[in-house]
């Protein structure tokens, strides 16, 4: 059951409700719908700007604010829908403002914390679930252009350290990466519809390689603070790194400039991350199950789930990227899971010298599901 806690009151009387969380999105989203008549008679407690905690089966899923409402009335319809996001939505929407330049010896958490403080959002915490990320060196410039979107600014530095920015159930920004943690759950869809172990209600999946490339070349920006910057700028483009995606035909290439100055090793990791992000986004599978929990707990993003789907010919561990909880009078409680390849959002993309060792999970997935 989905519940909304507003102050000391818990609200669970509605026609429909949903909560969306993702390991690749900083702000979770939620909404609920009820009838205008019901809202009027029961003293509906929700207003725009109110703080709210959203629970699914009594587990906290997100903390945010109501931001909008949509009211509809006719002879055939009588409804009012309220929606909102995690408090980190303010970072997604806002520009950076006047953030002082930060140099040397600071890590990504320091950059995010300093930026939030400069924006007046110091109440938003930062949780590093990856740990041991390299600090930025004294030669790297941590600054934002005037009018730059705050999320774009921070996400650029997250890419530099190959992590994703999402949010915790308490509303903090969280640094995450796929570490291969299992969910303890399975999705089973046998060909026989009455098979006793089937737990899949619906499936929707596909693959689109139009934004994938065979060769990725990341070229570093030159560091304007270097003593010989003027001479370098006229002769070279800076260090570079190359990653391969062997699932794409030769001849498709992507060269790009990194967000900030990087050395050769960082360029290599940045190229690998770009390759991995693009192939992760190119292939997905959406499964609908019921209810909101599996046998070991609530469905959560950033967990590996074992899939046995004879209809889609999918037999592999897959990473849960997105989770959407739904509850309605008409359909009851359902959960939609968006799955991506099992090594998505890691540094396991193809490297020229060590491809077999580091890409085995994804290559097996490709072999099982894209051959022929």
Question: Matching CATH topology for 2-86 and 182-208+283-370?
Answer: yes
CA atoms within 13 A of residue 1's CA, in its CB half-sphere: 10
Architecture per CATH, 2-86:
Roll (2.30)
User: What is the spatial distance between Cα 240 and Cα 246, in angstroms, rounded to a whole number?
Assistant: 20
User: What is the spatial distance between Cα 212 and Cα 191, in angstroms, rounded to a whole number?
Assistant: 32
Q: Read out DSSP for 343-364?
A: TTTSS-SB-TTTHHHHSHHHHH
User: Domain 91-176 maps to which CATH number in 1.20.1250.20, 3.90.180.10, 3.30.450.20, 3.55.50.10?
Assistant: 3.55.50.10
Q: Read out DSSP for 48-109?
A: TT-EEEEEETTEEEEEEEEEEEEEEESSS-EEEEEEEEETTHHHHHSB--S---EESSB-HH
Instruction: Give me the residue spans of the domains in the chain.
Output: 2-86, 91-176, 182-208+283-370, 215-280
User: What is the spatial distance between Cα 65 and Cα 87, in angstroms, rounded to a whole number?
Assistant: 6
Name which CATH class applies to 182-208+283-370. Answer: mainly beta
- Helix axis angle for 150-160 and 264-282, nearest 10°, is 110
CA atoms within 13 A of residue 99's CA, in its CB half-sphere: 30
Tens-level pLDDT at each residue, the chain (372 residues): 999 999 888 988 789 999 999 999 999 999 999 886 666 665 666 889 999 999 999 999 999 999 999 988 887 778 889 999 999 999 999 999 776 667 768 899 999 999 999 899 999 999 999 988 888 877 666 677 778 899 999 998 898 888 999 999 999 999 999 999 999 999 999 877 666 689 999 999 988 999 999 999 999 876 554 444 444 444 445 799 999 999 999 999 999 998 777 889 889 999 999 999 998 889 889 999 999 999 999 999 999 999 999 988 889 999 999 999 999 998 999 999 999 999 889 876 443 333 333 334 444 444 444 444
């Amino acid at each position: 059951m989905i519940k909304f806690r507003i102050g000391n009151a818990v609200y669970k009387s509605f026609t429909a409700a949903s909560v969306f969380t993702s390991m690749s999105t900083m702000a979770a989203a939620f909404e609920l719908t009820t009838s205008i008549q019901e809202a009027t008679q029961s003293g509906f407690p929700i207003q725009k700007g109110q703080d709210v905690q959203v629970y699914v089966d009594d587990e906290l899923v997100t903390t945010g604010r109501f931001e909008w409402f949509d009211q509809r009335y006719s002879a055939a319809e009588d409804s009012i829908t309220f929606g909102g996001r995690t408090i980190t939505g303010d970072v997604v929407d806002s520009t950076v403002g006047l953030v002082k330049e930060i140099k040397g010896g600071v890590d990504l958490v320091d950059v995010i914390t300093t930026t939030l403080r400069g924006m007046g959002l110091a109440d938003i915490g930062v949780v590093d679930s990856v740990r041991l990320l390299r600090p930025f060196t004294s030669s790297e410039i941590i600054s934002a252009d005037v009018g730059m979107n705050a999320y774009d600014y921070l996400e650029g530095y997250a890419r530099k350290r190959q992590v994703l920015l999402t949010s915790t159930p308490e509303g903090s920004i969280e640094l995450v990466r796929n570490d291969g943690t299992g969910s303890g759950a399975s999705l089973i869809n046998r060909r026989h519809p009455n098979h006793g172990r089937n737990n899949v209600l619906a499936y929707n999946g596909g693959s689109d390689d139009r934004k994938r490339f065979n060769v990725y070349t990341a070229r570093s920006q030159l560091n304007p603070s270097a003593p010989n910057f003027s001479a370098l700028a006229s002769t070279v483009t800076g260090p570079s790194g190359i990653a391969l995606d062997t699932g794409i035909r030769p001849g498709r290439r992507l060269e790009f400039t990194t967000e900030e100055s990087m050395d050769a090793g960082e360029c290599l990791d940045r190229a690998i991350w770009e390759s991995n992000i693009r192939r992760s986004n190119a292939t997905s599978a959406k499964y609908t199950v019921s209810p909101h929990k599996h046998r070991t707990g609530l469905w959560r993003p950033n967990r590996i789930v074992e899939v046995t789907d004879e209809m889609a010919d999918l037999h592999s561990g897959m990473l849960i990227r997105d989770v959407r909880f739904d509850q309605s009078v008409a359909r009851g409680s359902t959960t939609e899971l968006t799955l991506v390849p099992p090594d998505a959002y890691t540094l396991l993309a193809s490297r020229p010298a060590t491809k077999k060792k580091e890409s085995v999970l994804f290559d097996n997935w490709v072999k099982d599901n894209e051959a022929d």
